[in-house]
Structure 1
Amino acid sequence: MKRSKKALSLIWAMQCVIGGFSAMAHSADVLDRIKEEKTITIATEARYAPFESVENGKIVGYDVDLMNHILEKKLPGVAVKQLDLPFQGILPGLDAKKFDFVVTAVTVNKQRVAHFAFTVPIAESTVALLKRENDGTITTLNDLSGKIVGSQAGSGQLQVLQEFNEKLKASGKPGIKEIKQYVSFDEAYADLANKRLDGVAQSLSNLGPLIKSRPGLFTTLKPMLGPTTYFGWVGRQDTDSASLVKLLSDGISEANKDGTMKALQQKWFGFVMDVPANKMPAPAL
């Protein structure tokens, strides 16, 4: 039996509707899925105080407060599933789509910015040299020749330390005796306190609260080990993640401009940092 023109028109219209729904579903990106599922999965390294640490079984810190402030405004009703992971696995895990976004302090460098999408800065990450306060053998950065210095494996701070070591050697000095790599900075601090290290390369923003919490034990050299650098949060550099990266980056920018960021910095660091609000500067490293 031949179908009537009316029936054929109805079938065609239904196919158009179904096709439209299919196209909409296919075009849904990470942010759309987060809104639909009411959950965002975040990766964090919770051993990086005061950005993140664990207190009474709960992740707390500057990044957490800033994230919650932004998500309450930008994604109300969305629950946060926050994963505590070793730093060395965070960016590979993001690449493998094991979570939606990285909310932890990640130093921007040329290699990372070529592969990942960074937000605007959340803080300055310029690297300083932490040493024992009573160690009179290190008074300038040149004194690091022949010393044992540590930093975190896979970190931007380690990269700065390695580049500084190359400059020492290029200037005709022996260079650092050994660069030790650690899973977490807490392990490096312990070795420094116990004289198994002579110094630790770490971001100055992390060191103020550490020195304050252990008076008389640690201090820093005034000259920085490397150029001015910044921390950002990280998403995947693809069209699927672009709207989520923009939402969180815009939230950081707004918090910077309205004073929220500085209030949280004062709370967690004991000082404030002037960081760009509108874009991430091109990395020097």
Structure 2
Amino acid sequence: MKLATSLKAAMIGMAALAVAAPASADLLEDVKAAGKVVTATDMHYAPFDMLNNGTYEGMTKDLFDEVSKELGVEPVYQDIPWPAELPGLEVGKFDIIIAPVTITPERQERYAFGLPIADATVGLVRAAASDAVSKPEDIAGKTVGVQQGTAQFKQLEAYGESLGGVTIKEYGTTDEAYADLAAGRLDAVAGSFPNLAYLVKNRGETFALTEPATFGEPKYFAWAMRKDDNSASFVAAVNEAILKMHDDGRMTQIQEKWLGAAPDLPREVPAN
């Protein structure tokens, strides 16, 4: 009786595992079978991602709409706070992070990156009415805001140390940092150059770039995916779509629409 009960329980357990098992061990196949690709981004990062009266728009959306067409699936866009995105990707809450992620050697050890979609060199913005910070080195001994958990934070931290010290204040979103800068609670805000240039273009009466506007080594933004065998074909398909957009002019058109220019971008993922 006990043996029969044990066998019955084992068979039920095996059946449950079979039901729970994924349809395949290939993410691209799963995405195509589902007819959708589930994404994560922070919709408070203009001009890449923003909410306009509750509607998601921006350069990232325009780019990924086109990638989704190439994959033959519908995109599912989710507004996820940046600090939760990389952990969420690792546990499979979504298929890809389309928030612009700065490619760094440390991240490349853990995640697979798509081809660069934009320049991500770090820069500084100041209050237009103040000349306390006119060039990057002027932030020595001052208070600078930056979005928490970003590569720009690490670059600002290293640059501040080289200047003898900078007080860094972290924010959940860049919008919060910009608000404090406008209110006089910060001396500058560090961020990627495209974001800061877009901010100054649209709010030049309030904000201005330092001269020069950037510091540190050139960096690039890309989309992050899981780095495993199951995701390899999905990563390759995303990159193939991006290359096609380079070749047929869609990448240039979208860059010029949102950034005002189309900078040259690598056609390969930068090596560590």
Asked whether the two chains share a fold, i.e. TM above 0.5, the reply is yes
Give, as a single letter, the amino acid of the residue that structure 2 aligns with 1:97.
G
Residue 253 (structure 2) pairs with residue 263 (structure 1): yes
Which residue number in structure 1 is paired with residue 168 of structure 2?
Answer: 179
CA distance in 1, matches of 2:136, 2:33: 53
CA distance in 1, matches of 2:197, 2:205: 13
- Secondary structure at 1:235 match in 2: strand
Residue 159 (structure 2) pairs with residue 164 (structure 1): yes
Distance apart, 1:115 and its partner CA: 0.3
**Is the deviation greater in 215-224 or in 144-153?**
215-224
Distance apart, 1:26 and its partner CA: 6.7
Residue 133 (structure 2) pairs with residue 138 (structure 1): yes
CA distance in 2, matches of 1:150, 1:282: 30
Residue 184 (structure 2) pairs with residue 189 (structure 1): no
- Secondary structure at 2:93 match in 1: coil
Distance apart, 1:27 and its partner CA: 4.8
Distance apart, 1:104 and its partner CA: 1.4
Match of 1:79 among 64, 74, 80: 74
Q: 1:231-263, CA deviations, whole angstroms, 9 ceiling, x for partnerless residues?
A: 000100001111111111111122123221111
Residue 141 (structure 2) pairs with residue 151 (structure 1): no
Report the TM-score, using the length of structure 2 for normalisation. Answer: 0.88
CA distance in 1, matches of 2:102, 2:37: 23
Contact persistence 1:161–1:225 (CA under 8 A):
no
**Is the deviation greater in 266-275 or in 110-119?**
266-275
Q: 1:194-230, CA deviations, whole angstroms, 9 ceiling, x for partnerless residues?
A: 0000001111111222112112221112332221000
CA distance in 1, matches of 2:28, 2:248: 25
- Secondary structure at 1:275 match in 2: coil
Could you say what the CA RMSD is over the residues aligned between the two structures, in angstroms?
Answer: 1.4
| Runs of 4+, deviation exceeding 4 Å | none
Contact persistence 2:136–2:211 (CA under 8 A):
no
CA distance in 2, matches of 1:239, 1:230: 25
Structure 2 regions of 5+ residues with no counterpart? Answer: 1-21
Match of 1:41 among 38, 41, 45: 38
Match of 1:228 among 215, 218, 223: 218
Match of 2:233 among 234, 239, 243: 243
Report the TM-score, using the length of structure 1 for normalisation. Answer: 0.84
Q: 1:88-123, CA deviations, whole angstroms, 9 ceiling, x for partnerless residues?
A: 100010011111111110011111111000011000
CA distance in 1, matches of 2:183, 2:118: 30
Which residue number in structure 2 is paired with residue 3 of structure 1?
Answer: none
Contact persistence 1:157–1:203 (CA under 8 A):
yes
- Secondary structure at 1:196 match in 2: coil
Counterparts in 2 of 1:74 and 1:204: CA distance versus 1, 3 Å: same
Instruction: Tell me the matched-pair count.
Output: 250
Match of 2:88 among 90, 93, 105: 93
CA distance in 2, matches of 1:151, 1:56: 25
Contact persistence 1:131–1:220 (CA under 8 A):
yes
Structure 1 regions of 5+ residues with no counterpart? Answer: 1-24, 170-174
Give, as a single letter, the amino acid of the residue that structure 2 aligns with 1:43.
A
Residue 63 (structure 2) pairs with residue 66 (structure 1): yes
Distance apart, 1:142 and its partner CA: 2.1
Which residue number in structure 2 is paired with residue 11 of structure 1?
Answer: none
- Secondary structure at 1:117 match in 2: strand
Query: What percent of counterpart residues are identical?
Result: 38
Contact persistence 1:47–1:54 (CA under 8 A):
yes
CA distance in 2, matches of 1:136, 1:163: 24
Which residue number in structure 1 is paired with residue 52 of structure 2?
Answer: 55
Which of the pair has more CA radius of gyration? 1
Which residue number in structure 2 is paired with residue 114 of structure 1?
Answer: 109
Distance apart, 1:280 and its partner CA: 1.6
